[in-house]
Amino acid sequence: MNGKIIAEQNLEKGSIIGTFKVPYTAGKLVGRCYDGDKEVASQTLTTAGKPVAIRL
């Protein structure tokens, strides 16, 4: 989260889903998948920008 490691998880063989509870923080969240020492996938989520208004 914003360049800091906040959690790590080892998955059981054959599992493809890891679940984390992460507090909301504006910026960038990167999830990375490794097979041993090799990164095999990654996904990045970025906030859109400053909130301007809420319309109900």
Over residues 4-41, the pLDDT tens digits come to 999 889 888 888 888 888 888 889 999 999 888 999 99
Coil, helix or strand at residue 1: coil
**Distance separating alpha carbons of residues 10 and 29, to the nearest angstrom:** 19
In a 13 Å sphere around the CA of 13, the CA atoms on its Cβ side amount to: 0
- Determine if the pTM surpasses 0.75: no
Predicted local confidence at residue 11, as pLDDT: 87
Classify 23 as helix, strand or coil: coil
pLDDT at 14: 85
Is the separation of the CB atoms in 18 and 9 below 8 Å? Answer: yes
